[in-house]
Amino acid sequence: MRISVIGCGYLGAVHAAAMASIGHEVVGIDVDERKVAALSAGRAPFFEPGLPEILAEGIASGRLTFTTDMAAASGARVHFVGVGTPQQKDGYAADLTYVNAAIDALLPHLSPGDVVAGKSTVPVGTAASLAPRVEATGATLVWNPEFLREGFAVQDTIDPDRLVVGVAGGEDAAGVLREVYAPAVAGGTPFIVTDLATAELVKVAANAFLATKISFINAMAEIAEVTGADVTQLADAIGHDVRIGRRFLGAGIGFGGGCLPKDIRAFSARAEELGRGESVAFLREVDEINLRRRDRAVQLVVDGLGGQVYEKRITVLGAAFKPHSDDIRDSPALDVAVRLHGLGARVTVTDPEALANAARVHPQLTYVHDRDEALTGADAVVLVTEWDEYRRQLSPSHAATLAAGRVVVDGRNALDPAAWRAAGWTYFGMGRP
């Protein structure tokens, strides 16, 4: 099928390449000329495992192209819209500027029978408000939210755990998307057809639930901290209950990234607009618990270094908001580094992929690519992104030969406390004795 993908960021670039890899003829369209040039040359503009391979394959096959020219959308049967919906500068609500601009730019290139499939995460009610403009061209608007995780985006797009399509009228348009996703559907992926509002809500509800789950365990970490309990054992124990499940019960410095934080805030703002602010008032608490964990990590470093960090050399392991990503949007890891720097510490940050992005936004920190070089001379070591390079491949005895001090703060509860203590370190975890 001929497909256009409007917006070639984390979501759109992966979606375009993945659609080409399952056999469609795809054009990715973005206003950013540099991004389009990179993608056209087969270079992923961000780190995402597996993306360079499917980009190269798609371009070589001739099925995948990128352009800044919206006219290239004409002739496609399905137009996916995957532009960003960031948090507004002066509030919690989502900024829909890019969605509106993308739809307006697309309208002149639509033909009767086309399907416009929104993928961006939008406040409930957005699709219904956009539909009349799309329908005036004879095309149909559906909402097809995206559940991909950065770091696993290619796999999540080609083989998702569910497909959700919200439609306004009959199921015809949903049938077209069933064709688009034929390999996944044939492989047994549940294909759920809903109305537009439900599809929009499924997405924000899923992210709100995940954020709540993380903040729940971090709230338990706070209680563990004043009682001497161990939140990781608690999570293991309650996680055995299949109704609860162990995943997303990783206590630590909390969630960040381009999705969970802004999505729960936009959900709160939208619920207020709908007169139902109280229904999701708990999301404010979820946000606050999450942000408190960064304070806690900073406090542990201060305590570990005897009450002040001024002029102390602190090595921060990780800058990305999570492993397998170079994304530093709302990264708790980088926030902890910046706060320590603000307290006068000499902070060195290392990360396998995210240093260039981090340096652009926080040039005041020192960045060192080589992990061991970064550790050399450190008075304290702080793990904030659980890359395998730090959690599995860094032996505490080796780290001890490099660092000057023996204080380690494990902001992700990713290290083995017994092993680090045995190598002479004073270990501090999050919600662990």
The residues carrying an active-site annotation are 259
257 near ligand UGA (CB under 6 A): yes
Question: If we measure between CA atoms, which residue out of 336, 334, 328 comes closest to residue 309?
Answer: 336
Piece in contact with ligand UGA (CB under 6 A), picked from 92-100, 110-118, 178-186, 245-253: 245-253
Shortest Cβ distance from residue 93 to ligand UGA (Å)? 16
351 near ligand UGA (CB under 6 A): no
147 near ligand UGA (CB under 6 A): yes
Place of tokens 């001890």: 400
Considering only 146, 287, 351, 353, the residue that binds ligand UGA (CB under 6 A) is: 146
Count of residues for the chain?
Answer: 433
Question: If we measure between CA atoms, which residue out of 381, 291, 387, 288 comes closest to residue 330?
Answer: 291
Q: Alpha helix (H) ranges present in 107-230?
A: 126-135, 153-158, 172-180, 182-186, 196-227
84 near ligand UGA (CB under 6 A): no
157 near ligand UGA (CB under 6 A): no
181 near ligand UGA (CB under 6 A): no
CB 196, CB 177: distance < 8 Å: no
301 near ligand UGA (CB under 6 A): no
Size of site (CB under 6 A) for ligand UGA: 21
Cβ proximity to ligand UGA: between 15 and 63 the closer is 15
For residue 195, list its beta bridge partners: 167
Shortest Cβ distance from residue 133 to ligand UGA (Å)? 25
Shortest Cβ distance from residue 331 to ligand UGA (Å)? 7
Shortest Cβ distance from residue 275 to ligand UGA (Å)? 26
CB 166, CB 191: distance < 8 Å: no
Piece in contact with ligand UGA (CB under 6 A), picked from 147-155, 167-175, 269-277, 304-312: 147-155
210 near ligand UGA (CB under 6 A): yes
Piece in contact with ligand UGA (CB under 6 A), picked from 55-63, 253-261, 277-285, 344-352: 253-261
User: 401 Cβ partners below 8 Å, 6+ apart?
Assistant: none
Cβ proximity to ligand UGA: between 220 and 305 the closer is 220
Q: What are 369's two structure tokens?
A: 């690519």
Distance of alpha carbon 49 from the chain centroid: 14
CB 358, CB 365: distance < 8 Å: yes
Judged by CB under 6 A, the chain residues 16 through 45 that form the site for ligand UGA are none
DSSP letter (8 states) at residue 369: S
Spatial separation of the C-alpha atoms in residues 40 and 213, rounded to whole Å:
39
Considering only 160, 254, 411, 431, the residue that binds ligand UGA (CB under 6 A) is: 254
Longest CA–CA span in the chain (Å) reads 71
Pairing of strands 140-143, 163-167: antiparallel
Report helix, strand or coil for 338.
helix
Piece in contact with ligand UGA (CB under 6 A), picked from 50-58, 179-187, 226-234, 246-254: 246-254
Considering only 259, 309, 328, 394, the residue that binds ligand UGA (CB under 6 A) is: 259
Spatial separation of the C-alpha atoms in residues 416 and 91, rounded to whole Å:
41
337 near ligand UGA (CB under 6 A): no
150 near ligand UGA (CB under 6 A): yes
Report helix, strand or coil for 366.
strand
CB 188, CB 162: distance < 8 Å: no
Cβ proximity to ligand UGA: between 254 and 405 the closer is 254
260 near ligand UGA (CB under 6 A): yes
Handedness of CA 289, 230, 387, 248 (dihedral sign): negative
Spatial separation of the C-alpha atoms in residues 18 and 156, rounded to whole Å:
10
Q: Which residue is nearest to ligand UGA (CB)?
A: 250
Piece in contact with ligand UGA (CB under 6 A), picked from 79-87, 141-149, 183-191, 397-405: 141-149
Can you give the binding site for ligand UGA, defined by CB under 6 A? 121, 146-150, 207, 210, 214, 248-250, 252, 254-257, 259-260, 321-322
